[in-house]
Structure 1
Amino acid sequence: MNPWAVDAGCPRSCAVAPADRVSPAEAARRYAGLARVLGHSLRLGEGLADSDTPRVQARRVLRALGVGLEAGPVPLSVPGADVGTLVVANHISWLDVVALLAVEPVSFVAKREVARWPVVGTFARRMGTQFIDREGGRRALPLMVGELAKSLAAGRTVLVFPQATTWCSVSGGRFRRAAFQAAVDAGAAVRPVTVGYRQGGEVSTAAAFLGDEGFGGALRRVVAARGLSVRVTAHPPLYGGDRKGLAEGAWAVVCRG
């Protein structure tokens, strides 16, 4: 069995157009604002990964899109730790990474295909993303875990989406265990994080990026939505145990969140 095999995830039909939409003029202003932010980020070059720059630029992206950010005071990394923190979150949208970067600059793990995406791939490479090759079979899995463990041992906070694909709701899918082995090997804490989207006080799937849908359709729904917000909830860290226990514990906490 291919260790990289992932659940099918939700079909694109689960992503529903926003009930409350902005005017065409406002949508055009959002596209223009996003283009300005992305252009400025590209001009920063390697400086995009400097200090607090990713957080600032991520917040600018959210503002340009008209997306509100709700985040509690709990940081993603565990303060005072000798090693890094493995941040694990549910996966709904392409906006998840932007929202998490807007809370705290972190490096992240992504599938190899992301490196070839226009603009997004450039940003991911400059942010020091660790790309994984799902076609590598079983032999590639220990290498990925080893590299992730090295990053954690070196003090880096790394974001992973253990569901490996996107779902329209927080509780869809399940957490794969491989990344949690890296936390065990490095002696790193696991920080479970819940990411959710709301519009008009109700849970929304407008930001969801599902199935075989192209990026353009997902972006249009976000641009069109009035009053869309993303909430990032960081839960208490988990320590010790084996990868099975950590994966199941993190999954339970994220779903409750």
Structure 2
Amino acid sequence: MSTWLPASPCTPRACAAHDGPARHPLRAAALLLAGCALTLTGALGAPLVLLLGREARERLTRRWAYGVVRAFGVRVRVVGRPAASCGGPGSLVVANHVSWLDIPLVAAVCPGRMLAKSDIRHWPLLGPLAALGGTLFVERDRLRALPATVRAVASALRGGSRVVVFPEGSTWCGRGPGGRFRPAAFQAAIDAGAGVQPVRIRYLGATAERRAPAGAAAFVGDDPLAASLWRVVRAAGLTAEIHILAPIPAGSLAGRRALARLAQSTVASESANRSAESVHH
């Protein structure tokens, strides 16, 4: 197996169980319809949003993405640095990867061009929306495509775009340290002279005061998207928590592997668990 094809040991059976309070199926169905409808609205409106200036586009994207997460019945908690300081234009945002919810969650705080596997292009609703939003797609099963991907990311960073990457390359269940950060995207940051903005994602159940990770949000292995969507809307009290960590300035480290290790340890560090800056209900 190629190093460009990272594998996670997490499986739906082991990671995605929900043992907390559950919503009534009718209420869950209403949330599912609301979330899908708002996602579709974003897909249809994306061409018009692209005509706006950068600040207006980011402001609207934040509000829409936050609305999508909330429409699926998930609360959002932002921890750490002010969301307005999330890397700035021309920075590489890196995060651990747990769920499809990570995409709108990060966009609600640090909107930017996503680097995603090419399979997502074919997802219903989310695929067309990702393409319209300027997502950079990578064919993970073609190692020869890696240098072109690095060049594309570096070019986007030089052009002032914020680029969002999940360097683990695969989703993990959200328990434990997660996967190793792959260095390719960090080479793009070095080539472009861009800073790195680490963020950490966690999903908590109704007993959030005990900091217990929630399995309902995990989207791992061969889990069907429809099953994951239903599990999320059925889980009452689910909170998505995003930590905005201290940025890593451009030029801090010369090598992509050292930069990847620093970003990974920053995201995985328990010292990132600071008090919440804001909680949106």
Q: TM-score range by the shorter chain?
A: over 0.9
> Within 5 A, what are the aligned runs for 1:118-133?
118-133=124-139
Using the aligned pairs only, state the percent identity: 37
How far has the Cα of 1:48 moved from its partner? Answer: 4.3
State the alpha-carbon separation in 2 of the partners of residues 3 and 145 from structure 1: 15
The counterpart of 1:68, out of the listed 72, 75, 78, is 75
Q: Give yes or no for the alignment of 1:235 onto 2:245.
A: yes
SS of the aligned residue for 1:195 comes to: strand
Q: Give yes or no for the alignment of 1:168 onto 2:173.
A: yes
Q: Give yes or no for the alignment of 1:112 onto 2:118.
A: yes
Task: Report what 2:146 is aligned to.
Answer: 141
Task: Report what 2:12 is aligned to.
Answer: 12
- The count of aligned residue pairs is 253
How far has the Cα of 1:18 moved from its partner? Answer: 4.3
The answer (yes or no) to whether the contact 1:109–1:131 under 8 Å persists in 2 is: yes
How far has the Cα of 1:131 moved from its partner? Answer: 0.4
The counterpart of 2:215, out of the listed 201, 205, 223, is 205
Q: Give yes or no for the alignment of 1:159 onto 2:161.
A: no
State the alpha-carbon separation in 1 of the partners of residues 259 and 214 from structure 2: 29
**Any idea what the Cα deviations from partners look like across 1:112-165, whole Å, max 9, x if unmatched?**
11111111111000110000112322x321111111111111111100000000
Q: Give yes or no for the alignment of 1:58 onto 2:65.
A: yes
Task: Report what 2:262 is aligned to.
Answer: 249
Q: Give yes or no for the alignment of 1:89 onto 2:87.
A: no
**Structure 1 residues 156 and 42: alpha-carbon distance in aligned structure 2, compared to 1, 3 A threshold:** closer
How far has the Cα of 1:60 moved from its partner? Answer: 1.5
The answer (yes or no) to whether the contact 1:76–1:87 under 8 Å persists in 2 is: no
How far has the Cα of 1:169 moved from its partner? Answer: 1.8
Gapped regions of structure 1 (runs ≥ 5): none
SS of the aligned residue for 2:121 comes to: helix
How far has the Cα of 1:56 moved from its partner? Answer: 1.7
Task: Report what 2:226 is aligned to.
Answer: 216
When the two chains are superposed, the root-mean-square deviation of aligned CA atoms in Å is 1.7
State the alpha-carbon separation in 2 of the partners of residues 76 and 156 from structure 1: 15
The answer (yes or no) to whether the contact 2:86–2:109 under 8 Å persists in 1 is: no
Letter in 1 for 2:87: V
Letter in 2 for 1:217: A
State the alpha-carbon separation in 2 of the partners of residues 131 and 27 from structure 1: 32
Task: Report what 2:275 is aligned to.
Answer: none
How far has the Cα of 1:75 moved from its partner? Answer: 3.9
Task: Report what 2:278 is aligned to.
Answer: none
**Structure 1 residues 174 and 104: alpha-carbon distance in aligned structure 2, compared to 1, 3 A threshold:** same
Task: Report what 1:2 is aligned to.
Answer: 2
State the alpha-carbon separation in 1 of the partners of residues 140 and 85 from structure 2: 27
TM-score by length of 1: 0.93
State the alpha-carbon separation in 1 of the partners of residues 191 and 261 from structure 2: 18
**Structure 1 residues 128 and 198: alpha-carbon distance in aligned structure 2, compared to 1, 3 A threshold:** same
TM-score by length of 2: 0.85
The answer (yes or no) to whether the contact 1:9–1:173 under 8 Å persists in 2 is: no
**Structure 1 residues 246 and 237: alpha-carbon distance in aligned structure 2, compared to 1, 3 A threshold:** same
**Structure 1 residues 233 and 144: alpha-carbon distance in aligned structure 2, compared to 1, 3 A threshold:** same
State the alpha-carbon separation in 1 of the partners of residues 34 and 140 from structure 2: 35
Letter in 2 for 1:157: R
**Structure 1 residues 18 and 125: alpha-carbon distance in aligned structure 2, compared to 1, 3 A threshold:** farther
Gapped regions of structure 2 (runs ≥ 5): 273-281
SS of the aligned residue for 2:150 comes to: helix
The answer (yes or no) to whether the contact 1:133–1:140 under 8 Å persists in 2 is: yes
SS of the aligned residue for 1:174 comes to: coil
